[in-house]
Amino acid sequence: MPSFPAPLASRLPAVGTTIFTVMSRLAQECGAINLSQGFPDFNAEDVLFERVGHWMRTGHNQYAPMAGCLALRAAIAAKVETLYGTAYDEESEITVTAGATQALFTAVTACVHPGDEVIVFEPVYDSYVPAIELAGGTPVRLQLSAPDYRPDWEAVAAAITPRTRMIMINTPHNPTATIWTRADLDRLAALTRGTGIIVVADEVYEHIVFDGASHASCAAHPELAARSFVVSSFGKTYHITGWKVGYVLAPRELMAEFRKVHQFNVFTVNTPVQLALADYMADAGRHTGLAAFYQAKRDYFRAALANSRFDLLPAHGTYFQLARYERISALGDTAFCEHLTRKVGVAAIPVSAFFADGRDERVIRFCFAKNETTLAAACERLNAI
């Protein structure tokens, strides 16, 4: 095997294989039930697959427009206006992306210049900081602490400097399953008022909010909508994470910059899937019913672990459940997750992986986006500890 003849200076020297890949691989090696990586073990409805096949068979297999198929952008615009009361122009303010991660990366690289500062909230999803660093920006990490993981607005105010270019938020929040409120958005708006700060709102779990609460979207907040990239995911909404299709909303001035990068790092997203999604979105119940669907799974999972030695934290949104395990083990969370996978046969994610300093609060994350048979089998093993 040939080797590269000279040393290569890495652009991301601190980055290795993601914890999601590590734990999923270990789960497969050990034959463990995988409650680590955030993907369902069930399919979408057959009608969605049938619509993809229809558009393939009828010859729609060439490049889509760079911004996305107009039919899908129109469907997105209609959904957003119905839910959030904001009219985004389908021609200039909506772009279909190759998943939410690409949307987040593109928003950062389109707007962040060397020396700019970007505020993120830890525990932070692992794609944010590498995008900031590749753009030459400096991540400014603020802490959300167990058990409530609420933003400290005084700390946010203190972190804002003349070099702050962007604030990245995530609600409903992965991994903590918390949600931001309208009051939180009002505080964010007040802190960014009169500045050139851009907000990137990762709202991929927008439809998975529990107990009658409403999702507080930056798209529904006029002041924030005027300075925000709002990112969502069809993969999370329609149980098709492997299709890697998402979208971003932004005012036309920001979207123009976004598309300058998008056209060269992706250009466009596959055509038949876009057209099928446009058809599928015609039934609004497919996304408005998602909260009840996943709340039932959350409630089933929590009830099944009620008599275990895990202490379950509140889960207000997403399809994740955090748990403390201090009554079970004194191991650090990474070692405990490895033990859980190898010896108990259930894989989870250590929350310390979402902190740059590896802060270990003895909390792990389970994914309950699984069939009840999968959850029942996992809970039987977890209850036996």
CATH number of 134's domain: 3.40.640.10
Residues forming beta bridges with residue 248, ordered by sequence position: 95, 231
Rounded to a whole number of angstroms, the distance between the first and last alpha carbons of the chain is 46
Q: What is the pLDDT of residues 323-377, one digit of tens each?
A: 999 999 999 999 999 999 999 999 999 999 999 999 999 999 999 999 999 999 9
Q: What pLDDT, on the 0 to 100 scale, is given for residue 19?
A: 87
Which of 261, 286, 311 is where one domain is finished? 286
In a domain, 50, yes or no: no
Identify the residue whose tokens are 């939410």: 100
In a domain, 9, yes or no: no
- Do 120 and 252 belong together in one domain? yes
Residues forming beta bridges with residue 339, ordered by sequence position: none
Q: What pLDDT, on the 0 to 100 scale, is given for residue 204?
A: 98
Helix, strand and coil content of the chain, in percent to the nearest 5, comes to 40, 15, 45
CB neighbourhood size of 301 (10 A): 25
Q: What is the pLDDT of residues 125-173, one digit of tens each?
A: 999 999 999 999 999 999 998 889 999 999 999 999 999 999 999 999 9
pTM: 0.96
- Do 257 and 306 belong together in one domain? no
Q: What does the alpha-carbon distance between residue 271 and residue 69 come to, in Å, rounded to a whole number?
A: 7
Q: For the residues 186-204, what does the mean pLDDT come to?
A: 98
Distances (CA, A) of 149 to 49, 97, 111, 157, 363: 38, 30, 28, 17, 12
- Do 232 and 372 belong together in one domain? no
Q: What pLDDT, on the 0 to 100 scale, is given for residue 227?
A: 98
Indicate the DSSP class of residue 317.
B
Q: What CATH code is carried by the domain that includes residue 368?
A: 3.90.1150.10
Q: What pLDDT, on the 0 to 100 scale, is given for residue 243?
A: 97
Which of 232, 264, 286 is where one domain is finished? 286
The pair of structure tokens assigned to 118 is: 């970007």
**178 three-state secondary structure:** coil
Q: For the residues 247-274, what does the mean pLDDT come to?
A: 97
Q: How many domains does the chain have?
A: 2
Q: What is the pLDDT of residues 56-79, one digit of tens each?
A: 999 999 999 999 999 999 999 999
List CB contacts of 226: < 8 A, sequence separation 6 or more.
Answer: 251
Q: At what angle do helices 372-383 and 290-304 cross, to 10 degrees?
A: 30
Q: What pLDDT, on the 0 to 100 scale, is given for residue 345?
A: 98
Q: What is the pLDDT of residues 8-38, one digit of tens each?
A: 889 998 888 888 889 999 999 999 999 998 8
Q: What is the pLDDT of residues 203-260, one digit of tens each?
A: 999 999 999 999 999 999 999 999 999 999 999 999 999 999 999 999 999 999 999 9
The mean of the pLDDT values for the chain is 96
Q: What does the alpha-carbon distance between residue 104 and residue 161 come to, in Å, rounded to a whole number?
A: 22
Q: Furthest-apart CA pair in the chain: how many Å? A: 60
Indicate the DSSP class of residue 362.
S
Helices (H), 227-289: 234-238, 252-265, 271-280, 285-288
Domain with 133, as residue range(s), is 60-286
Query: Does residue 1 register a pLDDT over 80?
Result: no
Which of 286, 315, 349 is where one domain is finished? 286
- Do 123 and 243 belong together in one domain? yes
